Amino acid sequence: MNGARNHERLAGSTDLAVLKPFRLNNGEPPAWRLQASHGYVLFAVLAVYVLVGDVHAAPAKPSILATMWKWTPFLLQGFAFNILISFVSIIIGTLAGAALGLGQISNSGLVRSFAWTVTQFFRNAPWLVLLFYCIFLIPFEFELFGVTIPFPAWIKAVIGLSLPVMANFSEIVRGAVQSIPDGQWEAAESLAYTRRQTLWLIILPQCIKRMLPPWMNLYAVLTMATPLVSIVGVGEGMTTTGEILAAENRSDLLIPFYLYLLCLFFLYCYPIARWTIGLERKYAVKI
């Protein structure tokens, strides 16, 4: 710190070419502050629109704010279903993706080729197309020992979202394992560790802190993609908002309610983004 100040003092007291201290942000505000300001703008737009709408609303109609407050429990119930879908999808996708990622670093060429093909196929497939395939190709019920077992649409939607999550997490696992220096493998081999012991006792524990930030970012992306399931008939936040607007039958509620839902997603995903940034700084490689 004192060295940087002396360097700046020297730069101001001489006409010689002096290299100024390097700053990462060049005096600009950090990215997370810019993101927070975007959130404030979002809430401000919602508040202004509600107030203006209430001023111009007909006297016989209840205010926009009162209507939003009345339907808030119903909207939160639909939004909670988005969170449930995201939780189940990230768990299934993480477990399947971990197995697939380890398959990409297998000693068997056949296993590596299969894991790479599956990863690239689902990683580069549109999420909405995968949802439609799961909705229409998986039966709505199964017959097991004469018992009919229903298979709800939301479970098929979870499978459809788990597939791209699986493929993306597979790449996260592969990249994390390959980022560990080769000396770790060589040291374990010199201690007569098997490949399995080396992987589970030495390599993967070091990979956790490297995989955690991108995994959390993947979960945030998945959460923001959950409204796609409304297109295939799953009742969640978007579907609930549509039902509220249909019940009220008021055109002036269209923008406020969708802004309201947007604010809910922001309030849920922004802390995850902030936590991810903190973990990236904590586990960053010091040069």
Q: What is the mean pLDDT of residues 38-44?
A: 60
In a domain, 194, yes or no: yes
In a domain, 249, yes or no: yes
> Which pLDDT value is given to residue 263?
87
> Which pLDDT value is given to residue 18?
43
CATH of the domain at 253: 1.10.3720.10
In a domain, 196, yes or no: yes
Q: What is the mean pLDDT of residues 130-154?
A: 84
In a domain, 287, yes or no: no
> What band does 262 get if pLDDT is binned at 50, 70 and 90?
confident
Between 8 and 229, the higher pLDDT residue:
229
> Which pLDDT value is given to residue 20?
47
By mean pLDDT, which of 19-28, 88-97, 106-115, 273-282 is the weakest?
Answer: 19-28
| Percentage of residues in the chain having pLDDT higher than 90 | 30
- Number of domains observed in the structure of the chain: 1
In a domain, 13, yes or no: no
> What band does 24 get if pLDDT is binned at 50, 70 and 90?
very low
Mean of all residue pLDDT scores within the chain: 80
Answer whether residue 56 shows pLDDT above 60.
no
In a domain, 264, yes or no: yes
In a domain, 4, yes or no: no
Which residue in the block uniquely carries the two structure tokens 């969708």? 258
In a domain, 21, yes or no: no
Answer whether residue 77 shows pLDDT above 50.
yes
> Which pLDDT value is given to residue 285?
56
* Residue 196 lies in domain: 30-282
Cα distances (Å, whole numbers) of residue 180 to 40, 58, 100, 141, 176: 40, 66, 18, 46, 7
